[in-house]
Amino acid sequence: MTDARLRHLLSVSDLCAESATGLLDAAEAFLEVSRRPVRKVPTLRGKTVINCFFEASTRTRTSFELAGKRLSADVVNVSASSSSTTKGETLRDTVKTLDAMHADVIVVRHGASGAPAYVAERTRASVVNAGDGTHEHPTQALLDAFTIRRTKGRIAGLKVAILGDIAHSRVARSNALLLPMLGAEVCVAGPRTLLPHDSAALGVRSYDRVEPALEGADVVMMLRIQRERQGVSLLPSLREYARQFGLSAQRLERAAPDAIVMHPGPMNRGVEIADDVADGPRSVVLAQVEAGVAVRMAVLYQCSQDPDERES
């Protein structure tokens, strides 16, 4: 595997098809570790992973923490509310502080797009982007790819429809980069106000109705409306949104008969996804959560190798 490029994982564009596939293969082995009665291997003993979460998170933060612990790394969590940021410390000083403590990997979630790249320029540690503003969420795209590959047996040739608030979604952006790289055909759909101004920049087809996107889709990925990232409300009402853009069992009938339904969480039930779909037989939402730990173990493993240990 060519993993010299995984000095940092800031964007899916730090990967190529070969290195992404290598990470998915490594994650298969780590999934097996998570299913053992004793869920721990000594792989990262003596390494230090610092999780810096300046934005709310349940799944991503917990899975990075479990990933580090299952690899036997020393894991420390810093959250915005308990850090010196609340005392006015700059991100620059926070990074310098963590760097002085000899972190091997710093995992960063931040509301500002580009914050992990800023951190990467100021530390000797490897930096992993755990979601930055409306920019990217590369480990989410990797865990989505992993879940698709496990449930459908392949990624290449599949039709993937990503539906919802595309404009503000770092999950959509990272998946629109990764899944086509692995051979899938991706399209996005949402209300016009929630599509990026320049949809062509995403490099995938976009629709302002869900029906054409759903037609024959093998994978249906639903997204939450990112109200915290919208200056003004871009929707007339949530009821109207649910009626026109929500995934109901009836609407899902347009997809392939064996289509899977994905959601990165947190789900807003009754808005973008109906209860019976979220809990139904096509839903792989909890498989995504399980994959999250395995994929992050693979990413931490690749990122925490010493520079001279990294293959080229």
Nearest-CA neighbor of 278 among 232, 220, 228, 238? 220
Beta bridge mates, 77: 51
For the question of residue 137 being annotated catalytic, the response is yes
Site for ligand NCD in 23-62 (CB under 6 A): 59-60
Q: Which is nearer to ligand NCD, 72 or 151 (CB)?
A: 151
The only residue of 70, 170, 173, 251 in contact with ligand NCD, by rule CB under 6 A: 170
Q: Which residue has the tokens 């249906």?
A: 220
Candidate residues 265, 269, 287, 310; the one interacting with ligand NCD per rule CB under 6 A: 265
Choose, from 8, 47, 60, 134, the residue flagged as catalytic: 60
Q: Which amino acid is at 255?
A: A
Catalytic annotation present for 5: no
Which residue reads 């595997």 in tokens? Answer: 1
267-306 footprint of ligand NCD as x/- string (CB under 6 A): ----------------------------------------
With beta carbons less than 8 A apart as the criterion, state whether 123 and 98 touch. yes
CA 171, 14, 41 angle in degrees (round to 5)?
A: 85
How many residues make contact with ligand NCD (CB under 6 A)?
A: 10
Residue 135 as a binder of ligand NCD (CB under 6 A): the answer is no
Binding-site string for ligand NCD from residue 214 to residue 243, where x marks contact by CB under 6 A and - marks none: ----------x-------------------
Asked if residue 293 lies in contact with residue 32, where contact means CB atoms within 8 angstroms, the answer is: no
Q: Which is nearer to ligand NCD, 122 or 150 (CB)?
A: 150
The smaller minimum CB distance to ligand NCD, of residues 191 and 264, is found at: 264
Say whether 147 is catalytic.
Answer: no
**Angstrom distance (rounded) from CA 208 to CA 140:** 24
**Does 195 sit near ligand NCD (CB under 6 A)?**
no
**List 181, 221, 264, 272, residue binding ligand NCD (CB under 6 A):** 264
Residue 224 Cβ, how far from ligand NCD at the closest point, in Å?
4
Smaller CB distance to ligand NCD: residue 110 or 224? 224
Contact residues: ligand NCD, CB under 6 A: 59-60, 131, 137, 140, 170-171, 224, 264-265
Catalytic residue positions, numbered? 59-60, 87, 109, 137
